[in-house]
Structure 1
Amino acid sequence: MPLGILSVSAMSLDRCLMSRFRQDLFTGTDIVKMIVVMSFSAISLMLTAVAPDYNAYPVSPLIYCIPILLAALWFPRRGLLVTTLLVAGFVLIRVYLSVLGFAIDLVMTGLHTMLFLWVFGATMLFSQSSHLTLSRCRQIVEDTRDAKFLCDPKTLQLLCVSRRCADILGYTPQELVGIPAEMFWADEADRARFIEEMRREGYIGNMEVTLWAHNGDAHMVLLSCRALVPENLFECTVVDTGRLLGENAELLQSNGRLMELIQQSNDIFFMQDGSGCILHFSWLRASEHGLSPDDLIGQGVDALLPPDLAAQHMEQVRKVIAEQKHACYDLDLVIAGTRRTFSVTIAPYSGAEGALTGVVGSARDTTEMRRQKLACRQMSWEVDQWKGVVTTISHELRTPLQPLVGYLRMIIEDPGYYGLTKETETLLKTCLECADQEQAVVERAVELSLLTMDYVDLTVQDIALCDLVGSVISGGEYDQVAQICNEIPKSVHILGDPERLSMVVDGLVSNAVKYNEPPEKIWIRYAGSNENHYIMVCDNGIGLPEDIIESIFEPFYIGGAGRQNPKGVRTAPGLSVANKYVHLHGGEISVTSTVGEGSTFTIRIPREV
């Protein structure tokens, strides 16, 4: 039980200390002072108790003077209480020792008690000096978060000023010390009223006065003062109402802009009390639908909505008020013969005193948005259907072409075995080239159809360009059919989608291998500028005539379809697909070519994708 009482007392003391800290009633320095006083008090009482064992009778009473003196100096209002407790403890211990049989001089006990009281009285008289009082209060004023100052009651001379108070007047705290407060009064009548009120009542609350600042500006402030009687000081608090008026003006201006925004919005804004009565209604398009916002004020929601929807809305209002959480729901209603869908959001709001008053909400017409969503779903379904059609068509076209191409190639590779004449062999080669070209068109059509129908989401990341090009070359086995020089420095890194850029490089390298002549050589190089990366794929192939350079990026351009890809090489995307992927990165592909000498395809990729 004693431990429980001690725990409760400790908790109560902790709450009291925290409360006093928040109120700036004492600081951390005061805590240290309390600990010092309590420590010396405990030492004094313990020395008195053990004095018979150590023959410390002459010394132990003198120790009491230390906590008494410190308490009287540091805590004048509690000094008498501390002295009384110490004297009572001293007397009780001496009486207890006497009962135990120790030789106790009662006369000396009385003299020591009188000494303690004399020390307390003398210290209290000495502590009335304004300088000592100021030292006790200075730390509190300087550390406070409020605008405060201490002044002498007789001369009104400033003795201590907080930083916030000095900032209001345009000074530093040190500059204000020693200046009479009357120098800052702009109105002599205010100063006279202040002095009269403080002498008569000892307190002034929120007195409106005008003070001069350092730069000559007049500041309207609220001045609250109280007389610290034991310390013989005036403690004053200043509130800069000019700043508050400025903040209030800004608040009113912001509120005006908000109301202007509400009045220009196509959304509905409304307020209702707990019973459902409309307190505010604003809608820019109200007149188009024959509604008058002013006529709705003071009416129930049934004046605006049909009975079933009004009941549904009020159910949501009661739920929001009960749970004090916002709610969102949809309302479908007919306005001017047209069915409209509104997305409604309501939330609780409180009055000035903090009591729950009602709800505030907005309603947005989402009819067109819903139609667009339905249209997007329909389009998505159609795209899926078209994908299926493309897949089916491509399968039906590929099925007869694959055996045709295979058999023609087999016959042409060994014309003697099949007894072909030169004329027949030439005709079959022409048929094979046409079949290869038709197969390439089918593959390109499928590829482009899927690409244009699908949304391409780039996964942009840091790419080591030299490694990416190397993987394309080795993965496609291009280095086995041509001499390829990867001249890109190891240190080059770009931002982009590695999968898409691999396909782009793959398409250009495949193109360079396919349209090349022995000795087949390909160079892959890099250049950079402040804004772009440039990747060049150069070859010594057959080159491109100027009249077809613009056509090679068209979706269904097929050049030299009869040429064979290297054995084992996967089919690379065409130039049109590669160009689209580069465009998605914000770049482009350009070509320079000379017939009979070779071509250079340059990929430009911005540094910031």
Structure 2
Amino acid sequence: MAERGFCPEPAFFPPCGSRLYRIGINGGFVAILAIILIYSILFAAGIAFSHLYYIPLVAIAVWYSNRSIWTAAALSLAYTTVTLYLAFDGYIIDPVMIFLFTLLYLWGMTAVTLFQPRGFQDMTRSTRNNPAFTLERTSFMITSATPAFAALLGYTREALEGMEIGLIWTSDSDRQAFCGMLGRGVEVRNFETVFTGMAGNAVPVLLAGRPDQMEHSCSALDLSSLASYRAARTGEEEATRKIAVEETWRQDFVTTAAHELRTPLQPVLGYLHLLIEDRERYGIGDDAGRLLKICLDNVHRERIIVNRMLELSLLDSGKVACAPEQVHLRGLVCEVLAHHDVGSTAEVRLYIPDDACISVNREQFFLVLESLVLNAVQYNRPPRRVEIAYQEDEDYQAIIVRDNGIGIEPEKLKAIFKPFYLADEQDLSRDYDRMGLGLPIAERYVRLNGGTIAVESRVGEGSTFTVALQKRGGDGI
């Protein structure tokens, strides 16, 4: 049978009245030792008898438990025979001690046979919820079954108990091989076969069995559930691989497209500048000049978009380095606001201490603040209000950008940092020069500077973006 890497532990069923067995065995052991001790003291009998018989006894009991009774009987007979033989040569023997040590050997066999390496409580717990069953020693009739094993085959426990094992075995050769090994006292592991369920369905299992003096203990692993798990795991891995391939393809496409678009834009941009700056030389009137200016503005917008696509591709490929420095936060925020004249379109409130400094790459963090502030203004309605605040604790510094805009629906929050995603794509307007790249680039720059970015939003009330930066050594606040 094919072996698998997984090895189910065989089930162990304690004999009925296990507590009585335990009391009887332990009590018998104590009684025998007490009698030997008392007898040795009273009659000065030598107690240092050879105990070498225990070595084969224990070995046989562990590996071939159904042979241990016969082994113990043979060893006891051999011990008695050797002792009697020595007696005929003048060796002084004590028949009482012979009897007591014979009992001691028999006790050792019984203890090892009835008490497997695990305790009864552990054995009971391990089989209670697992598919397991016991077989009669010679007829291989099912004598007991756990609820899990009965459920696996679709039977009740009562229906299984007393059933011939061959009735649920699909392959008779498999049954003969498995039962034959148990009958010879060989422990079986990793035996792959197929049972037949009550509905006639095939139930692939991996069996393990341990021979015993009274019954053979067996356990079964449901290979159909294992196959389902493996199939699901394989499907998950395949989906992950496809996502990785698609992401790589997207990055390659963005990089290639950006380069291809950037190349023809350069001469167009140059010629437009040339025509507009020297209109008289080329005989361009006011109306034509105005149209050329519109063309130039749009080419500028396209170049910005292409540059941002290239920027995103470089960030995703890990080719952008970060050289942090101490940056005065309030000054950087004011620079962003002035660059875009945000104060003319929205009411801006700053809650940033004058001495607040952060350790970041200045140019990269300028782009982060620019994206967050412009996002707060663009996705807003009059009266527009934007708040920019700073907080800190022992380990982190936080920059918070809050607006009173249209908000973001909960199901869209995770998507806003994906490239080319627009929360209001149905209202796409070129006036905003938007391609869904601002927040994805900002999020990547934040991570590059050792921080994280989070967003909270309520539809109709506004959004709050929080950039958390871990404090670096030498930060002065």
TM-score bin, normalised by smaller chain: 0.3 to 0.5
Larger radius of gyration: 1
TM-score (norm 2): 0.41
Greater relative contact order (Cα < 8 A, sep 6+) = 2
